[in-house]
Chain A
Amino acid sequence: MSNRAIILCFSLLLLACNKKELLFKNPTSQETGLFFENTITPSDDLNILDYLYYYNGGGVALGDINNDGLVDIFLSANQEKNKLYINKGNLKFEDITTKSNVSGNSSWNTGAVMGDINGDGLLDIYVCAVVGVHGFYGYNELYINNGDETFTESAEQYKLDFDTYSSSAAFLDFDLDGDLDIYLLNHAIHTQESFGKADLRHKRNEQTGDRLLRNDGGTFTDVSESAGIFGGINGYGLGISIADFNQDGFPDIYIGNDFHEDDYYYINNRDGTFSDQLKDYFGHTSRFSMGNDVADINHDGLPDIISLDMLPEEEVVLKTSEGDDNIQIQKLRTKKYGYHYQFTRNMLYVNQQNSGYLETALLSGIAATDWSWSSLFADFNQDGEQDLFISNGISKRPNDLDFIKFISNEQIQKKIDNTKLVDQKALQMMPSGEAHNYIFKGVKNLEFEDKSGEWISNKKGVSGATALGDLDNDGDLDLVVSNINENVSLYINQTNEKANYLQLKFDYPSPNTFGIGTKVYSYTKGELQFKELYTVRGFQSSSEPTVHFGYGAIQQVDSITIVWPNKMCQTIRNIPVNQQLTIRPEKTKPFNYSTILKKETPIFKKVSNNLGLNFIHSEDNYTDFNRQKLIPYQNSDSGPAVAVGDLNNDGKDDIYFGGSKFNPAKVYLQKEGLYEEEKNQIFANDSINEDVVALIADFNNDTKNDLFIGTGGADFYSKMKPLLDTYFIQNNTSFTKEQLPDYFENASVIEAHDYDNDGDLDVFVGNDIVSNDFGAMPNSYILINNKGKFSILENQPFQNIGMITDAIWEDYDSDGFVDLILVGEWMTPKFFKNRKGNFVEENLINSKLTGLWQQIAPFDIDKDGDVDFLLGNWGKNSKFEASQEHPLRMYYSDFDENGSTETILCNFKNGAYYPLLGLDELASQIVSLRKKFTNYKSFAGKSINAIFEKSVLKKARIFEVNTLASGYLKNENNTYTFVPFKNELQVSPISSFLEYDFNANGVNEVLVAGNYFGVSPYHGRFDSFPGALIVNEDKIILGNKIGLNFSQKAVKKLNIIKVQNKSYVLATINNDSAQVYQLIK
């Protein structure tokens, strides 16, 4: 072989390597014969200005309508005729619309779904329509399959000929009577001018209200009202999923509503009615909810939910699009109008069965996928993990800020008074919202990897309705995606024989012939995969009635348990992979869910009388963001202080709860087994103070306990008195206030210890922020005790080391002198060695570890006999992004030189740092930016270096955070390695650790609590952490599984209280009631 030939071969090889093949190929319409385009051309009479859902698109329904073993395709479009394509094999399709009589008569079609309505074993087709507005005519059409590739439109006969504003319909047997009922999803069209009260949903509106239609053997009866289904004028229903969310054998319903209306979480009451329990199970939801889908993503046998929204990922689009509400509007909407918390991004809800869902979309990496319509979970690469496809795009972006504020005016200003204000020019000025579809690979630990551009083409377009099916009968799942003004796309999966699969179809007794609602639990090597057969999924579509599992390299499935809709089950064992099975009920027996779902032994139980502790902390109305508009999070919500100790010398644990501004502190004394509030204590006089931390201890060695209170609240500033900490000495009958050194700080932690071994308790006081100057360094002190009087220990290395949030005294080098470890925000944990009364910083952590540290606690988590340190951090479930290479940054400076400082937070993205906030927010504080960027386009996509002059940035102090995960410092011979906790513990900031032997097994565990709400709506609400029990490195149990309920509660502090020789856990919660749990063992 000549050299040239070798080079040629080599180059060819390289070329082949470089051109990575996509996992999905997209055959052309010429190849497939599918010529179907949802063509919509805005006219003067009808466009997005008139009809808000002008670009929502049509539907896709997949199923084998002629029972030839090949999946056929039905497509609906808004203004085009429906089409039915018969699969001829080899991905060739034949249009049989004319012959089959399914082309339709409505003028604006939406969703299309297949299901066997009459129980004859043939798939019928139901096509939704919007009727009765904008001149739209027609009705929802039902095509009954005649079995010979022809259909008879029979909607009227079945009483399904609705002429409402329908978007989709789903099949379910909600009353378990064996036939398929229908949930008809309608959407409101009324323009959102004012919120209106949330109760509007109780007032039924014929056109817009959703309907539950009970199958009464050949006709459907509207039972919405009696079944508890909302039907208001504000129900912008776009997403629907059916699943047995609480695994009680009865199907439940999740409805995604656009705009300000809450999503609905209908739990089946098992008596033909439903109750919406959204607020109980979800701390927040997506705001502009679009499509949703359900699958078990974490192998626990419980259906998890994704709900789509429209948060853009791309920097330019993000900064030119209308974003979230400001915090005051959020308050108004939730508190005054009664809506739930909603945020503009996708949400991933991880099911915890009988307690709140964990919401992990940010942590999972799927929160921002732009203008998203359809989400479908499936194991596309057949590795045993659920992957996720999301369709995307809109022809015109109506929420473009330049369009809203600057461009629209000139075109529209004279014509607003009626709906005929159409103006082609105005439409042309709206930017295109074409976007690429997303696909994510599911990996373990609740995470997803973006494979867009790798698995699928990242060509931009406008895609909507999407359905799943195995079009080429090769075992893996393909996708059919409907597009606006472009031919329908096929995504043909090329996984083929690279990984193993199993496909299950069901042959269930008529009338539910396809076995809708059947559950399948698959076990391989102890790993559970769970699926439930509901075909209406994604958005305005239905998928092939098949259950599909991927198994990677596994050749044989250990067992499969089928639970039929009638709650009977059967198990099949040792099934070879790579086959399509049709299963019918055989030798079934009643199913018991407890055999499948893992249960932990409960450890905690809420005490019904709360031991008489009726303390409710209520935050004052102060909002930090009103004063410092750009700070990343609040500080005024750090309370309440809580301290446990004997306050009346009777040997029993009493409790001090600090107050918030103008709400006085409260003292509860322990009487016979119960607590009673003790009024008129001297502490209540300081009611203006905001108490953040408190400590009960005997400081003056007179055997009576005293009280030390750290105050803060961020509201008070400069040398205002409420910033002074307070100190009370107990006399014979009462407490008296004692002098403390004058330091005006916002306290965060008080830890007492006799660090100088002179027989009295000294105090470390940590402070976290400087009021009105976030980013400035507060001072933290050791107060030396001299016969009960305190003075500051001067000149210590920790004095202004950072925004301290927690401290522990711990003799980590076992030299008999207790050392000091400090953690804080925007800093690394700091170890200070106590050299006989003087402190020297030591560097003991083997990596840079800047975090937003909240808590530290010593605990031998790896059970190797030395002390490790648990660290509570911000968690990974936020819009902050941080890594060793690209830390989160905060620029701190007086950017506009007007005498007050600003902070600007930046994430690293594609090679540069970008502010998290948009032009409006930044300019609300730095008005000169308005002059520099006179529109949003000029600002969007600009990094911090392009937004500010070099000279300005040079003056700024840059803070960094490279670690957001909570975890622990693993002690290996007194050097410490950081190990993050698993992702269930990263959903919220962690604010408290409590070590105790909770299950009385002779070994201590650590109870963990968290959640935090003091962020702007752009960041959402960290509300879904249920608490957790750390047993050891490998065993961490979520709180909801062992009897705790911390979901939607911002737990500030956990304490042990002893009452009549029994131990209880006291959870003190910001802006909520304190809770007491007993230990079951």
Chain B
Amino acid sequence: MKQFKLYVIATLIVMGLFSCKENLDPIEVTTEHFHTAIDKVVDVMIHDIFSPPVASRVFVYPNIAAYEILAQNDTAYFSLKNQIKHLGAIPSPNESKRVNYPLAALIAHIHLSKQLIFSEAKIETHRDSLYNVWEAKNPREFKESKAYGLEVAAYISDWMNKDNYAQTRTMPKFSVDSEDEGRWQPTPPSYMDGLEPHWNKIRSFVLESADQFKPAPPPKFSMNKNSDFYKELIEVYEISKEITKKGDTSEEIAIAQFWDCNPYVSVNRGHLMFAVKKITPGAHWIGITKIATKKGKADVNRTVFAYTKTSIAIADAFISCWDEKYRSNLVRPETLINTYFDDEWKPILQTPPFPEYSSGHSVVSGAASTVLTSIFGENFSFSDDTEVPFGLPIRSYKSFKHAADEAAISRMYGGIHYRTAVEVGVVQGRKVGELVTEKLTMFNN
């Protein structure tokens, strides 16, 4: 009875407010809005040159914020509170407010993204153009949804800021030791420092610990011709020679380049230097997620659900992989091939600046493909046009697994990984993906 009374009063107030105006249409937020928001973040990350692990963090938090808002209003989805590390319940909206949940979710998403990247102006332009439209269309709904979206964003931001990211910024650089030949060394042409040596100290989401899926150690470094390590090194060298013989149009080169996903390929010509920038491995799989949601005709909630679950798997995959990279500290093929076989040899792809084992792209592809399979099913074929903006063709896959396997082997074709790193990497990634699907109850089907 009391509730009814309140309701009446509230209704009266609302009617009073709007009595002189016509009743406004609700603001419609579509899946395209979310796709665009994510595309913008990808663009800015390319510009700002985010490394692959850091990029995975930029994807995941805005997605979680949006998902948590949508899950408030859709019984088909469960909140991630207490399912991922240290996330509590987000604030509930004030009942008197007219919250448009997809709108609030999108606003929270954009807001957190802006917080996570460097060049805010590009996100702001996009945001403001949307805000202007919404403001004009339904000021009250916009205002109240925005207030809620920002409230949740602030909550998520608080939680996010405790993930040790700030602390890892000032942790020691990776110490190069050029005496020990088996240890990773900076590689040409820029000889950059080892990226993110402390990424295993970032709070994980579903992983119990960074080393939960610690792979077996790589073959022991040895330049003895009968050693496993040496054989793998020679294999990389032989494959590269063979591919080069086949020429630029070979399938192997097409595969290597398609999955390059190196955010900063630097080119030096005398004093002239420039960078060729691309999306990261994480961003490529986020792109595949977009393709899958579109093909699967997912609605807003399912789209955000797919983005969120995939990005959680990707984020944990990087933590797992980077933990191993700076444990085994393995030298890249380029360093050894230049020293022992051919000082002019260059890999088909530029060697990225971190230790070799395990292959990051393999781990991430293994994790992302497993989660996507759990959502969209096995044998979900798709055409991958993610790399078209970078001048690369569309490639088709009969399943996510198919794509992941190709991504993994591409690193060998590219001359930047040994076989074990690739094979072990996919397995490591699938374990992360399986854990995510197993542990997280998100969709009530």
Contacts and interface: CB of A to CB of B under 8 A. Distances in A.
Interface of A: 48-49, 52-53, 191-197, 259, 288, 322, 325-326, 328-329, 331-332, 335-336, 398-399, 403-406, 408-409, 412-414, 416-417, 426, 621-623, 625-627, 629, 896, 898-900, 902, 925, 927, 930-931, 934
A48 B270 CA distance: 9
Interface stretch (B31-39, B86-94, B166-174): B166-174
B391 interface: yes
A406 B48 CA distance: 8
B355 interface: no
A197 B343 contact: yes
A403 B186 contact: no
A326 B169 CA distance: 17
Nearest to A626: B173
B275 A404 contact: yes
Given A288-B271, A409-B277, A930-B118, A332 B191 contact: yes
Given A192-B270, A896-B169, A409 B276 contact: yes
Contacts of B341: none
Nearest to B176: A328
Contacts of A900: 167, 170
A934 B121 contact: yes
Contact of B338 (A194, A399, A934): A194
Given A328-B173, A900-B170, A53 B275 contact: no
Nearest to B171: A627
A746 B207 CA distance: 40
Most buried by B among A322, A408, A629: A408
A106 to B, nearest CB: 21
Contacts of A259: 270
B390 to A, nearest CB: 7
A696 B317 CA distance: 57
Most buried by A among B121, B167, B175, B248: B175
Nearest to A898: B166
Contacts of A326: 193
Interface string B233-275: 0000000000000001000000000000000011111111111
Nearest to B47: A406
A626 B172 contact: yes
Contacts of B174: 626
B268 A192 contact: yes
B274 A332 contact: no
B185 interface: yes
A684 B268 CA distance: 49
27 contacts: A49-B269, A52-B270, A52-B271, A191-B268, A191-B270, A326-B193, A328-B173, A332-B176, A332-B191, A336-B178, A398-B269, A398-B270, A398-B271, A399-B271, A399-B273, A404-B266, A404-B273, A404-B274, A409-B274, A409-B275, A409-B277, A412-B274, A417-B248, A625-B173, A626-B173, A900-B167, A934-B121
Contact of A191 (B178, B269, B338): B269
B346 interface: yes
B169 A623 contact: no
Contact of A927 (B169, B186, B270): B169
Nearest to B115: A931
Given A196-B343, A930-B118, A405 B275 contact: yes
List the 6 closest A-B pairs by CB distance, nearest first. A52-B270, A194-B188, A408-B274, A398-B272, A626-B173, A627-B172
A409 to B, nearest CB: 5
Contacts of B390: 413-414
A121 B338 CA distance: 53
B170 A898 contact: yes
B391 to A, nearest CB: 4
B269 to A, nearest CB: 5
Contacts of B177: 621
Interface in B150-209: 166-167, 169-170, 172-179, 185-186, 188-189, 191, 193
A931 B118 contact: yes
Given A413-B277, A931-B120, A53 B270 contact: yes
B49 interface: yes
Contacts of A195: 188
Given A413-B390, A900-B170, A328 B271 contact: no
B114 to A, nearest CB: 10
Contact of B176 (A331, A896, A899, A934): A331
A931 B343 CA distance: 40
A586 to B, nearest CB: 51
A195 B344 CA distance: 10
B396 interface: no
B118 A934 contact: yes
Given A405-B49, A930-B118, A329 B191 contact: yes
Nearest to B270: A52
Nearest to A236: B270
Nearest to A412: B274
Nearest to B165: A927
B441 interface: no
Given A194-B346, A627-B172, 9 more contacts: A49-B272, A193-B346, A328-B176, A404-B273, A409-B47, A413-B276, A413-B390, A416-B267, A934-B118
B222 interface: no
Contact of A898 (B119, B120, B167, B275): B167
A417 B185 CA distance: 26
Contacts of B46: 409
A414 B391 contact: yes
B189 A192 contact: yes
A1010 B298 CA distance: 72
Contacts of B178: 331-332, 335-336
Contacts of A426: 274
B186 A328 contact: yes
